[in-house]
Amino acid sequence: MENSDKFNFQEAVHIVTDALGGVVCTIFFEAAKHGLLVAAVVFLVGLSLKNTRRALLSKPMMLAASKLAIACLVLSIPGIICQALTGGLPSKGFFEIFPLGYIGFWSLVSVWLCGESINYQWFSPQGDREIRRHVETSAKSSTSESL
């Protein structure tokens, strides 16, 4: 703002929209790039578990990685559009986040998604694995009941 005595509303709105554009385009795009990296690692770990004793963990991990990748692709759309139209991402000013923060955040998200997928697969009636519980009755006969 050039003159400190008078408030220029148009200039203030322009500064705020530039800052918002920098945050949405640049920071979300960088977060999405690191999220795709974490999704690729989770997918590769799930793929490597496919032919081992822990094959039951493979499908939920690959499913969680695909959900994470889709979310990151949606998050990166504004940055991709901005790069296509202007040839680069806008300046984000003094705001700085280190890649370790992004990787830590997406790792926590992927752990939660893997847990939800495993929970659904193991304990849902529509899941792949059916767990049976043996119930003792008073007549000393056991019956099998699906959970």
Alpha helices, DSSP H, located in 124-146: none
pLDDT on residue 143 = 55
pLDDT in tens, 56-82: 888 889 999 999 999 999 999 988 998
pLDDT in tens, 110-133: 999 999 988 887 777 765 554 444
Amino acid at site 141:
S
Dig out the tokens for 124 from the structure: 């849902």
Say whether pLDDT at 41 is over 90.
Answer: yes
pTM, to two decimals: 0.71
Dig out the tokens for 47 from the structure: 């793929």
Cα torsion through 146, 58, 43, 31, rounded to 10: 40
